[in-house]
C-alpha cells in the first residue's frame, strides 16, 4: 500500500512520536501494529485493560486513550470480528473514526 512501510517494533513514545527498537523516531501520522494470531497486551498500560486483561474499547475505539484503535478481536462487534470478512467490515468502521492527531499520550506500560 502506498505510504506503508514495515519498521522495527515500537518500544516507546517521545513527544508524540514512536521510538523504534533501533532507536529511530520516524515522523508518522498513524501506526498499525500487527500482532499476529495470539493476542497479548502486556505492553499496554494496565489502566487501559479490563478485568480480563483485554483493551477497554467499543467497536475497536479505545475508551481511555484517544487515537488508539483495535481490530480483529473476538466479538469486537460481531461473531465474525475475528475473521477476515468481519475484520474488513470493522476496518471500514474504524477508518471513518480515525481523526487527525489531536493529542499525544502513551498506551505503554510505565517502565
β-bridge mates for residue 108, sequence order: 44
Given a cut of 90, whether residue 14 has pLDDT beyond it is no
pLDDT tens-digit series, residues 22-51: 999 988 877 777 666 778 887 788 888 999
**CA 39 to chain CA centroid, nearest Å:** 12
pLDDT tens-digit series, residues 43-82: 788 888 999 888 899 998 889 887 788 888 888 888 888 8
Q: Which of 90, 35, 33 is nearest to 67 (CA)?
A: 33
Amino acid at each position: 500500500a502506498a505510504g506503508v512501510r514495515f519498521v522495527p517494533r515500537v518500544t516507546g513514545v517521545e513527544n508524540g512520536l514512536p521510538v523504534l527498537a533501533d532507536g529511530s523516531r520516524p515522523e508518522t501520522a498513524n501506526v498499525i501494529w500487527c500482532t499476529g494470531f495470539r493476542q497479548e497486551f502486556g505492553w499496554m498500560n494496565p489502566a487501559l485493560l479490563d478485568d480480563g486483561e483485554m483493551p477497554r474499547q467499543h467497536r475497536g475505539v479505545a475508551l481511555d486513550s484517544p487515537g488508539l484503535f483495535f481490530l480483529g478481536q473476538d466479538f469486537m462487534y460481531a461473531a465474525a470480528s475475528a475473521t477476515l470478512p468481519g475484520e474488513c467490515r470493522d476496518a471500514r468502521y474504524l477508518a471513518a473514526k480515525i481523526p487527525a492527531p489531536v493529542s499525544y499520550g502513551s498506551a505503554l506500560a510505565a517502565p
